[in-house]
């Protein structure tokens, strides 16, 4: 499962610089397309990474999809693959394909990734995932809402990270086959795209994304890089994107629990803000999944966020279910 865990490392690093976009987002957004060819002549190519991540969830079930590439894609020093997981109240059904010789194709004009015949692509403004594993099959579609945004952040020396949220929130549905069963899942959807150059396993992080009734999203990302904290909290709706940097918020870990092999926060309080956006909300564990082998896998957390936000002085109460992550601060 070590390949799956790599995507979590950079999920929120690039949130440290907010990028406001006032122009109309094109139907096919090149920010969500592949980036490798623009950097293939640079040094440190073995440290290249790029992936496309999506999830779908409701109170009872969820789906995680992760299409990834690492290393110099022009040689067999690369690593490409797909991780898919279907999560329900009693089990996690997972499939991964990953090795240097897998056939793959990346589109540089729009989100269109193919790895060993499995696809993650955008068509007519919607996102689609098709996966055909031996023990797990998935067909998923997502309708994206919210103003797309992204950023790039310098990490250290030649290392940097890019992050683009192509679906800050939305609705999705999935058709799943496993163990002779067929399942249909509907719920809230999310998709982002990550790329850059970096050594692995250098960060501590908190990340979470919460879709509020398909009206707006609250997404937080806080990374510890060396002794510096970066990131913050994002508010996104269809017309605006507002960002609170880390130095304007407070994060309190109120309760902890051992989940699998790791201690995880099961209640977090986030509060603070600026003139445009203020927050005061809690994230509490709703359900914990173990991705991997029994209790030796990686905890993946579904949380309930609830509280208040103030957007340009207007107060709003909210409650939402979404995925969240914590690794390494305490």
- For 1-63, the DSSP string reads -HHHHHHHHTTTGGGGS-----SPPPSS-GGGS--GGGTTTSS-GGGEEEEEEEEEE-SS-EE
What confidence tier does 200 reach under pLDDT thresholds 50, 70, 90? low
What confidence tier does 2 reach under pLDDT thresholds 50, 70, 90? very low
Which has more confidence, 11 or 321? 321
Q: For residues 35 and 110, what is the distance between their CA atoms, to the nearest angstrom?
A: 10
Ranking 18-27, 70-79, 264-273 by mean pLDDT, the lowest is 18-27
Which DSSP category does 261 fall into? T
Q: For residues 322 and 207, what is the distance between their CA atoms, to the nearest angstrom?
A: 11
Structural domains counted in the chain: 1
Question: What integer is the mean pLDDT of 53-66?
Answer: 96
Pair of tokens at residue 117: 């015949």
Percent of residues, the chain, with pLDDT higher than 70? 88
Ranking 20-34, 128-142, 303-317 by mean pLDDT, the lowest is 20-34
Q: Please say if the pLDDT value at position 10 is more than 60.
A: no
Q: Please say if the pLDDT value at position 72 is more than 90.
A: yes
Residues in the chain: 330
The pLDDT value given to residue 155: 80
Q: For residues 195 and 139, what is the distance between their CA atoms, to the nearest angstrom?
A: 25
Contact present, 187 and 57 (Cβ < 8 Å): yes
The pLDDT value given to residue 203: 64
Ranking 125-129, 234-238, 274-278, 298-302 by mean pLDDT, the lowest is 298-302
Task: Report which listed range, 144-148, 151-155, 202-206, is most confident.
Answer: 144-148
Q: For residues 10 and 215, what is the distance between their CA atoms, to the nearest angstrom?
A: 27
The pLDDT value given to residue 328: 72
Q: Which domain holds residue 94?
A: 2-327
Which of these, 51, 53, 33, lies nearest to 167 by C-alpha position?
A: 53
Q: For residues 159 and 10, what is the distance between their CA atoms, to the nearest angstrom?
A: 12
Q: Hey, which residues does 324 pair with through a beta bridge?
A: 208, 301
- For 179-205, the DSSP string reads TTEEEEEEEEEEEEEEEEE--SS-EEE
Question: What integer is the mean pLDDT of 177-191?
Answer: 96
Task: Report which listed range, 147-151, 221-225, 297-301, is most confident.
Answer: 147-151
Q: For residues 246 and 239, what is the distance between their CA atoms, to the nearest angstrom?
A: 23
Contact present, 131 and 138 (Cβ < 8 Å): yes
Backbone angles phi and psi of 108, in degrees to 5:
-100, 10
Question: What integer is the mean pLDDT of 42-67?
Answer: 95
Q: Please say if the pLDDT value at position 329 is more than 70.
A: no
Percent of residues, the chain, with pLDDT higher than 90? 72
Instruction: Give the CATH number, domain containing residue 194.
Output: 2.40.370.10
Q: Please say if the pLDDT value at position 95 is more than 60.
A: yes
Q: Please say if the pLDDT value at position 7 is more than 60.
A: no
Distant-in-sequence, close-in-space partners of 282: CB < 8 Å, separation ≥ 6 = 254, 267, 268, 269, 270, 305, 306, 307
Task: Report which listed range, 96-100, 220-224, 288-292, is most confident.
Answer: 96-100
Pair of tokens at residue 211: 């879709």
């Amino acid at each position: 499962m070590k390949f799956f865990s790599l995507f979590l490392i950079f999920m929120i690093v690039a949130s440290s610089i907010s990028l406001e976009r006032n122009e109309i987002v094109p139907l096919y957004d090149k920010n969500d397309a592949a980036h490798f060819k623009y950097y293939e002549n640079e040094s440190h190519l073995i440290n290249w990474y790029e992936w496309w991540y999506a999830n779908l969830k409701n109170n009872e079930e969820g789906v995680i999809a992760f299409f990834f590439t690492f290393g110099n894609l022009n040689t067999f020093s690369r690593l490409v693959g797909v991780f898919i997981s279907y999560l329900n109240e009693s089990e996690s059904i997972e499939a991964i394909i990953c090795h240097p010789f897998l056939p793959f194709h990346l589109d540089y004009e729009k989100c269109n990734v193919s790895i060993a015949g499995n696809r993650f692509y955008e068509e007519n403004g919607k996102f689609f995932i098709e996966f055909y594993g031996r023990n797990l099959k998935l067909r998923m579609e997502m309708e994206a809402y919210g103003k797309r945004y992204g950023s790039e952040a310098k990490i250290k020396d030649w290392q940097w990270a890019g992050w683009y949220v192509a679906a800050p929130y939305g609705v999705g549905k999935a058709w799943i086959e496993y163990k002779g069963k067929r399942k249909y899942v509907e719920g809230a959807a999310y998709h982002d795209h990550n790329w850059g150059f970096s050594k692995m396993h250098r960060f501590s992080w908190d990340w979470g994304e919460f879709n509020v009734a398909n009206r707006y999203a609250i997404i937080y990302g806080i990374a510890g890089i060396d002794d510096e904290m970066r990131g913050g909290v994002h508010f996104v709706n269809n017309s605006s994107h507002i960002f609170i940097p880390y130095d304007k918020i407070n994060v309190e870990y109120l309760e902890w629990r051992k989940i699998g092999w790791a201690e995880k926060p099961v209640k977090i309080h986030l509060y603070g803000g600026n003139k445009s956006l203020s927050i005061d909300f809690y994230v509490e564990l709703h359900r914990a999944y173990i991705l991997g082998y029994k209790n030796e896998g990686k905890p993946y957390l579904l949380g309930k966020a609830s509280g208040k936000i103030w957007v340009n002085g207007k107060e709003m109460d909210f409650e939402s279910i979404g995925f969240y992550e914590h690794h390494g601060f305490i």
